[in-house]
Amino acid sequence: MKRPVAVITDTEELDPGPGMRLLADAGFEVRVAGSRDPDAVAAAAHDAVALVVGYARVDGALLDRTPQVRMVATMSAGYDMIDTAEAARRGLWVANLPDSATEDVAVHALAQALALTRRLPQADALVRAGGWSADLAEVPRRASEMTLGLVGFGRIARALARFAAPLFGRVAAHDPQAADWPEGVESLGLDALVEAADVLSLHVPSLPGTRGMVDAALLGRMRPGSMVVNVARGDLVDPGALLAALDSGRLSGAALDVFPVEPPAADDPLRSHPRLLRSPHSAFLSDASLRAYATEPARNVIAWWTTGRPRTPVVTPRHPASATVPRTDTIQGASA
């Protein structure tokens, strides 16, 4: 009996071995395309029933070339690389990893916010240049007298709110889709949040309505000397407007873990501006998250194949397309 095929597209910095072993033990033939290139993915997945995706784009054009695919599992919480409308139209399942790095990203955002608040990048540069405390150009503000504003209030923002509540004097958030609000977090409209926040932290997906939302107009409504933290998606922020706000002093600092183009070019001013704190899209990174990113997509694929439903779907088709290989007599290890 032919084994079902699962293809891992691009692995980036991840070791795909643990996930490959889970899939193989469950009866799958596993291939690694090792590329985001659609030609490479299509060649590897021409007869695949499932894709495990890093950053590779999965759209109608690719799905036309992989007609047996019925399940797409991402290696991340984000799934904007998947054309979810097209997947749903074709009756495909899409699953993400909603909680594999929640703590890590929230801690990273808090660390960036506190580093900006305490002027740690400037202090570090001063000491490296031979200076000392009398040479500090700016006096940090006390965190307990500041407002942390969260744009979006999903899992990561809620974790950040819990971690930050004992440190910041006020925590507020904007999210029209949030159904409940924990004690100690104020619900504000976006304009009110922007105007109140001393630190504005972004926690929304990349969508037509959010791309470029942090533009000159929004930054112009922020308090003089405020700060922006982005651990979400690079295209939420207009880089020209951000740099202009830093140069003018409207913003005293900003922290970016994500960039419009990754990695940014060597001469990109986002790499060198003295008021920017940067990290290389690493907010998700920990030993625990790497284990989860390697294994949990495989578990989503196995659960879909053995039960008809992945563990953490983000697209649930109304009329799922059937797989072309019989399931129960070819798959082992349903409890993986």
Residues classed as catalytic: 233, 262, 281
- Beta strands 50-53 and 71-74 are parallel
The DSSP bridge partners found for residue 333 are none
| DSSP letter string, 25-64 | HTT-EEEE---S-HHHHHHHTTT-SEEEESS--B-HHHHH
User: Which residues have a Cβ under 8 Å from the Cβ of 52 and sit 6 or more positions away?
Assistant: 6, 7, 8, 9, 16, 19, 73, 74, 75, 297, 298, 301
The neighbour count for residue 153, using CB atoms within 10 Å, is 25
Dist. CA 51–CA 64, nearest whole Å:
14
The DSSP bridge partners found for residue 119 are none
Closest by CA to 229, choosing from 283, 165, 309, is: 283
Structure tokens at 143: 């965190």
Dist. CA 197–CA 72, nearest whole Å:
38
Dist. CA 279–CA 65, nearest whole Å:
36
In the chain, which residue ranges form alpha helices assigned H by DSSP?
17-25, 38-44, 60-65, 84-89, 102-117, 120-128, 155-164, 190-196, 216-220, 239-248, 287-307
Closest by CA to 332, choosing from 22, 83, 113, is: 22
Q: What's 252's DSSP letter? A: E
> What type of residue sits at position 232?
A
Closest by CA to 146, choosing from 181, 189, 198, 95, is: 198
